[in-house]
Amino acid sequence: MTIDAPSLVRRIPTPPWGDPKDRRTVDYQGFVATGGYAALEQALDRTPEEIIETVKAAVLRGRGGAGFPAGLKWSFLPAPDGGRRYLAINCDEAEPGTFKDRLLCDFDPHLILEGIAICCWACRLDTAYFFIRGEYHHQARVMEQAIKEAYENGIFGGKGLMRGKVDFAVDCHVHRSAGAYICGEETGLLEAIEGKRGWPRIKPPFPAVKGLFGRPTIVNNVETLAAVPGILEHGVDWWKAQGVESSLGGMPSYGSKLMGVSGHVVRPGVFEMGLGVTLKDLVEKHCGGIRHGRRFKGAIPGGVSMGVLGTDQYDTPLDFDIGPRAEVLGLGTACPTVFDEETDMVAVARNISRFFKNESCGQCTPCREGSAWTYKILCRIERGDATTADLDLLLELAGSMGLGPGTTICGLADGNNWAVRTIVNKFRGEFEARVKPKLVPLYVGA
């Protein structure tokens, strides 16, 4: 399912797996020379309401993990009241196995800025904060340079968008994260921008009503905003021609998607595919297959918090229906991590639980204590010191924390328990082989 129409990353000069010396960041002049900012010009000739309706009609679903429709989110904003209104761009990208937003920052930063400017005009947002992962030092410098160029050429700044084409000015700033995974959660991100500890907030109120500094705020992922110019430039039908309808009668999975493939494949990298491509086609046709000629064993479909696909789920389509279809939490970032037949799935579960234990902010007791105990039990199973009772306790723990049972503020605990539960349930034989049967003491009567 390759993309025949102009693609999201059409201005990247070479594939992401090429020689880094041959790749260049597209600057302002190069971007404009290939049609850059034409979509913004078109957007400024339309009313904000028309743009929101176009994005809603395209059913552009969030590319950061949740898949919530962007246009619908934009429509939640209250009417302007003369006060500040904010856009927070989520480039934290701390989900293990995910590296597709980094590609856009590296090579096409002005495409992101064009999407930011269009969103700000459509939603009447006057200030944008580009929140970027703390470890992305180079990418932060690239974005800062691109924003500087955008100011110099009148895209942003006091004169108004596009050198004063409309009397609406937007300011854009880069804000570097301190490196915490939890800041990828939208309200934790807002807390961090405000200079506070990155603890998720209780909702409601939602950011659209009371977000950054207590003002209306939209939080969007980098790839989501980068898709907006293409929708306006080429039309809703172009966007809907890519991707698939829902096979379960739900919301469709339209458009292309950046999929970063890592793990045990011959050629890892970032590939732009239409949603609905099967994992097997992605790996076999575009990644060169499983490395060393080994067989497929399992895969994480889109970040470790989504859970794991089993050995019999290699043909699973990568779209937003994947959750109920494959018994995982969801599509997530659509960046698969592939495991070959020699992978120790007990070690995979233990490593994932260690990550979530370390990244829990500690605000919610079920997450703080549950993630620590999950890790301890998995370490015991991996060493061969556990019993079947420990395996039962592990699954009980996993099912008792998170937004699902309503015990935590954010979804970090859900990511932990879905990862553990799916690995144990789909590879239970490996866990049972590592545990001892529970010894029941005999009762000796008088």
Alpha helices in 59-123 (DSSP H): 70-75, 100-107, 109-123
Do the bridges between strand 256-263 and strand 253-254 make them parallel or antiparallel, or are there none, so unpaired?
unpaired
Query: Quick one: how far is CA 312 from the chain centroid?
Result: 25
- What pLDDT is recorded for position 256? 94
- What pLDDT is recorded for position 438? 67
Check: CB of residue 335 under 8 Å from CB of residue 261.
yes
Name the average pLDDT for the chain: 90
Q: What is the largest CA-CA distance in the chain?
A: 95
Residue 15 predicted with pLDDT over 90: no
Lowest-pLDDT range of 16-30, 339-353, 413-427, 429-443: 16-30
Query: In the predicted model, what is the mean pLDDT of residues 55-75?
Result: 94
Three state DSSP letters for 220-260: EEHHHHHHHHHHHHHCHHHHHCCEECCCCCCCCEECEEEEE
Query: Quick one: how far is CA 218 from the chain centroid?
Result: 16
| Token duo for residue 256 | 């292309």
- What pLDDT is recorded for position 249? 87
Residue in 132, 136, 145 with CA at minimum distance from that of residue 28 = 145
Distances (CA, A) of 141 to 168, 190, 393, 416: 27, 21, 47, 33
**Domains of the chain, with CATH numbers?**
20-241 (3.40.50.11540), 244-340 (3.10.20.600), 345-432 (1.20.1440.230)
Percent of the chain with pLDDT over 70: 93
Distances (CA, A) of 87 to 98, 207, 254, 272: 23, 10, 24, 26
Terminal-to-terminal C-alpha distance of the chain? 74
Do the bridges between strand 217-221 and strand 86-91 make them parallel or antiparallel, or are there none, so unpaired?
parallel
pLDDT of 280-309, one tens digit each? 999 999 999 999 999 999 999 998 999 999
Residues 6+ apart with CB under 8 A from 39: 114, 118, 228, 229, 230, 232, 233
Residue 7 predicted with pLDDT over 80: no
Residue 444 predicted with pLDDT over 80: no
pLDDT of 137-179, one tens digit each? 999 999 999 999 999 999 999 888 998 889 999 999 999 998 8
Residue in 354, 358, 309, 349 with CA at minimum distance from that of residue 330 = 309
Check: CB of residue 199 under 8 Å from CB of residue 188.
yes
Sign of CA dihedral 394, 395, 396, 397: positive
Exposure letters 328-363 (e unless 16+ CB within 10 A, then b): bbbbbbbbbbbbbeebebbebbbbbbebbbebbbeb
Residues 6+ apart with CB under 8 A from 412: 181, 182, 185, 305, 356, 359, 360, 361, 367
Residue 18 predicted with pLDDT over 60: no
Distances (CA, A) of 212 to 79, 363, 367: 16, 20, 25
Check: CB of residue 213 under 8 Å from CB of residue 233.
no
Residue 6 predicted with pLDDT over 70: no
Residue owning tokens 């015991």: 380
Q: What is the pTM of this model?
A: 0.90
Query: In the predicted model, what is the mean pLDDT of residues 246-270?
Result: 94
d(CA 172, CA 191): 18
